[in-house]
Chain A
Amino acid sequence: MKADQLGEPVISLREVTAELGSRPVLRGIDLTVHGGEVVALLGANGSGKSTAVRTIIGQVPVTGGEIELFGTPRRRFRDWARVGYVPQRTTAAGGVPATVTEVVSSGRLSRARFGILRRADRQAVHEAIELVGMADRAKDSVNALSGGQHQRVLIARALASRPELLIMDEPMAGVDLASQEVLAATLREQVSQGTSVLLVLHELGPLEPLIDRAVVLRDGCVLHDGPPPQAVGQHALPGHDHVHPHAAHDAEPIRTGLLS
């Protein structure tokens, strides 16, 4: 995408700092995503990519700097139906069985008044499930799904409100090849309709052709902001296999719960 075609900023971070515990994780990050743009946030483990995304949605408090969503300071931002979020998860399941439709319906609550789902809402939920190719499993329990299918459900949940901005934290982690292709196709379709995307990624992988710009973090600072870096050497070889020790497949979803 050329610079003169860029829309208004949908995400804008200026000099954002954040701490986890008392350890500084972000040391003044500048990051802008313009309307219609696809930006990848790259970096090693512990570089602050996930924390950056979680400050945007308000899950991690900032200690300094400014965050704006669609031109509104995040504190005063209420129009959450315009944002679709895919958290970093290895499972869509909770402690009680739930069907694919039930989980995806949660994503529609931002458009439903008082939590009442009307016909149009049910239709949108159904379409989101179809987009990720899970229509035949809609009535199945998410407990019965594979890792890649869990991720497809999480993405359908984010798409159910028909967002203008998608924020995804490692959507390809632990996803089988078939699901990766479905996810890439889904994302391509969203982008062609003008959706802006901020993606946290470990590697560009199958999403590379979609990405307009890459922001690389290291130690909580922006190292690079520009065209996606070209893979070089061994990493560029087809079939090169990355092994990421942090992506434990048996990891429980992050809970801060009582007695858990």
Chain B
Amino acid sequence: MIDFARVQKELQECSRDMESSGIKVAPKSDNLARLTGTIPGPISSPYEGGTFQIDITLPDGYPFEPPKMQFATKVWHPNISSQSGAICLDILKDQWSPALTLKTALLSVQALLSAPEPDDPQDAVVAQQYLRDHQTFVGTARYWTETFAKTSSLGVEEKVQKLVEMGFPEALARSALESVGGDENSALEKLCSG
């Protein structure tokens, strides 16, 4: 059974110092078991300037079991799958402790962005590139940040406008954006598939 009272407290705590940490956690719906975390790309890393969305699913045993976290925004990083967004981080596995919180976990994920550990990779291709051709790695990571992590920095109205220009009805575009948490690419995908 998830300790929802605690999750509630965590959300409050997080929103209180959102300004300073830049880290945001919001429930996807009324159900507190599924949340979306947002972290800014760390300064002086190829991820600088990007805003990264992370899907969070709380297991039944939370806070005794670690939250499941996965990048919703595409990232080029040795410890994050470029396909699925799966994160390889010890505190999200056996080193998790109830002393940690969603916020501290997201801070660790943010720290992982600045300090990749290519020797313990999640994405072997990226890790190879990181070790053998660092220049290209930085370039790719920066390009991915520009392409996937910056669209969400646009205001909602601008995004709606963009989608309307593409030929979708405004109401539909707006609801699609809302349902995917404001991510323009996902909204587009949704609109195209729907």
> Is the A/B pair a real complex?
no
Q: Which B residues have a C-beta under 8 Å from some C-beta of A?
A: none
Chain A contact residues, CB within 8 Å of chain B: none
